[in-house]
Amino acid sequence: MTKYIIRRLLQTIPVLIGVTILVFSLMHLVPGDAAKIIAGEGASDQTVENIRERLGLNDPLYVQYGTFVGNAVQGDLGSSIRSGRPVMDEIGARFWVTFELAFYSTIVAVFLGLIAGIISAVRHYTLTDVTVMIIALFGLSMPNFWFGLLLIQWFAIGNWMPESLEFLKMRPSGWGDDWRQVVLPVLTLGTGGAAIIARMTRSSMLEVIGQDYIRTARAKGLTERIVVYRHALKNALIPVVTVVGLEFGGFLGGAVLTETIFAINGMGRLTIDAIRTRDFPMVQGTVLVISVLFVVVNLLVDVSYRYLNKRIDLN
């Protein structure tokens, strides 16, 4: 197992090289001159040239890339052009905010999704099943920026929970100390994920329930509860775990809309702001960090397969 994990971590190196090359070239292919943007409108050519020289933008691309990678492996992702602070520090401050949001959202998604999926599968082709699946389809189709706005409308601005407006105020340092701030953003992100997990759980459970070993379990005289939760669910979980991993990874990197709606200072907003202002080091830094996270999440998913089914040989 340890050997496997080490090997998998080594395998991420080529992935990360690919990611850095991609991000690096994309940033240089898009129109716009970083030095000019930083210098601001009406700056003299000399000022722009100085900035360009300071940032190394006059060097050939491969030298710029080499410098970037060289520093990155030492944990130095450069400094933000905009704020001048080290990229790592900026990311560090925002990372836990996003991580918390993604983590709680995933828990909500798994909890709601599994329950809905199992109920649907056990009562397949009944009214319950159809109802649950229609709700899931809504959850899946609803853009979360819209759902987020609806939640704000209902709970914060409307009369349901007017005091919750208070929790929507931006806290630059993250969540602040009130857990209630987390509720609406987590619901926004979590429900979409729950819908996907519910549908996956249902189809996976239905497939498993038709298997011979489920009949064997029933022939042993076990209760339907044990048959479903012990015998069927564990077998049905593998595709579900894959989806959960993807969801969690997606939440970490792509919760931009939710973060924007709820004014959360997370990774998503950091990335978008960096792209908008051509803050090259920051964009490279955030994308790199998100990629590493994605790779780690995938690794965890693969390791959990082995736990669910001993037949899967990781080596």
Partner 1 sequence: MISKDNVLEVRNLQTSFSTDKGEVRAVDGVSFDVPKGKTIGIVGESGSGKSITSLSILRLLAENGKIKGGEIRYKGEDLTKVSEKRMRELRGNEISMIFQEPMTSLNPVYTVGQQISEALISHQGMNKKQAMVRSVELLKLVGIPSPEKRVKAYPFELSGGMRQRVMIAMSLACDPEILIADEPTTALDVTIQAQILELIKDLQERLGMSVIFITHDLGVVAETCDYVAVMYAGQVVEYSDIRTLFKQPKHPYSIGLLNSLPRHDIDQEKLMPIKGNVPSPHEMPTGCRFAPRCPAATDLCRAKMPELMTDDSGNQIRCWIYSDEWPGEKEVNVYGETRIAKG
Sites of contact with partner 1 (CB under 8 A): 211-213, 215-223, 226, 231, 234-235, 308-311
State the nearest-atom distance from the C-beta of 305 to partner 1, in Å: 11
Distances in Å between the Cα of 224 and the Cα atoms of 117, 216, 218 are 16, 12, 7
State the nearest-atom distance from the C-beta of 231 to partner 1, in Å: 6
State the nearest-atom distance from the C-beta of 115 to partner 1, in Å: 21
> Considering beta carbons, is residue 3 or 310 the nearer one to partner 1?
310
> Considering beta carbons, is residue 54 or 215 the nearer one to partner 1?
215
> Considering beta carbons, is residue 3 or 225 the nearer one to partner 1?
225
> Considering beta carbons, is residue 157 or 214 the nearer one to partner 1?
214
Calpha distance 78→84 (Å, rounded):
9
Structure tokens at 1: 């197992």
> Considering beta carbons, is residue 197 or 237 the nearer one to partner 1?
237
